[in-house]
Amino acid sequence: MGLEPGAPASLRVDIRKQPPTLPARDPRPGTAALQESPMRRMIRYCTAHSLWPLMLGLDYCTLELYGALGPHFDQARFGAEVYRPSPRQVDVLLVAGVVTRKMGPVIRRLFEAMAEPRFVIAVGAGAISGGPFADSYAVEGGVDRIVPVDVYVPGDPPRPEAIIDAVRLLTARITSGEVQM
């Protein structure tokens, strides 16, 4: 009755017992039916609070980006004060200014040289959509046509507070698991 016939008593297996099945994972990013491990949460927290950005200043929006680095705004509070010159040492690419067709392959090369996990913040209307120069033959329609963008900072040029809010938003999205790592 439920046991395999003809098998010794020590090797009998109850065929009525099915192995426990795990709930199916939701394929949408940021939602998981399974419980996340404490180690994974700790890795997300540490990644979110130790962002090392690479600043790619292409145009006038770069001045506001430099303003956000000053002592008045103090980005060190958010763990993003270490701006590195090499793409191999960073995990956030800050693109500020109008992206031209000539700079597109350079941005793509910098993005591919970054270590995983890597994130992109588009700063200003020029990086988001081409800004006031969108109708030019030499301007790319936005940096999101070249690399995937995680956070957009609107404005022409955006205020330093908006740039700091973008870093805080990226930190919150990484911690919550909304951004894929």
The stretch 53-80 carries a mean pLDDT of 76
Q: Domain tally for the chain?
A: 1
The yes-or-no verdict on residue 24 having pLDDT over 70 is no
Q: How far apart are CA 142 and CA 122, in angstroms?
A: 9
Residue 148 belongs to a domain: yes
Residue 151 belongs to a domain: yes
pLDDT in the model for residue 181? 66
The stretch 48-74 carries a mean pLDDT of 78
Length of the chain: 181
Residue 45 belongs to a domain: no
DSSP letters, the chain, are: --B-TTS-GGG--BTTPPPP-PPPPPSSTT--SSPPPHHHHHHHHHHHTS--EEEEE-STHHHHHHHHHSTTT-GGGGT-----SSGGG-SEEEEESPPBTTTHHHHHHHHHHSPSS-EEEEESHHHHH-GGGTTSTTB-S-GGGTS--SEEE-SSSPPHHHHHHHHHHHHHHHHHT-S--
Q: How far apart are CA 166 and CA 121, in angstroms?
A: 8
Q: How far apart are CA 174 and CA 1, in angstroms?
A: 53
Residue 86 belongs to a domain: yes
- pLDDT tens string 127-163: 888 888 878 888 888 898 999 999 998 888 888 888 8
Q: CB under 8 Å to 27, separation ≥6 — which residues? A: none
Residue 139 belongs to a domain: yes
Residue 68 belongs to a domain: yes
CATH number at residue 67: 3.40.50.12280
pLDDT in the model for residue 22? 46
- pLDDT tens string 92-132: 888 888 888 898 899 999 999 988 889 999 988 888 888 88
pLDDT in the model for residue 140? 85
pLDDT in the model for residue 109? 92
Residue span of the structural domain in which 85 resides? 56-176
Residue 40 belongs to a domain: no
- Show contacts of 33-39: CB within 8 Å, 24+ apart: 36/177
Q: Could you identify the residue written with the tokens 């009755």?
A: 1
Both structure tokens of 87: 């793409």
Residue 136 belongs to a domain: yes
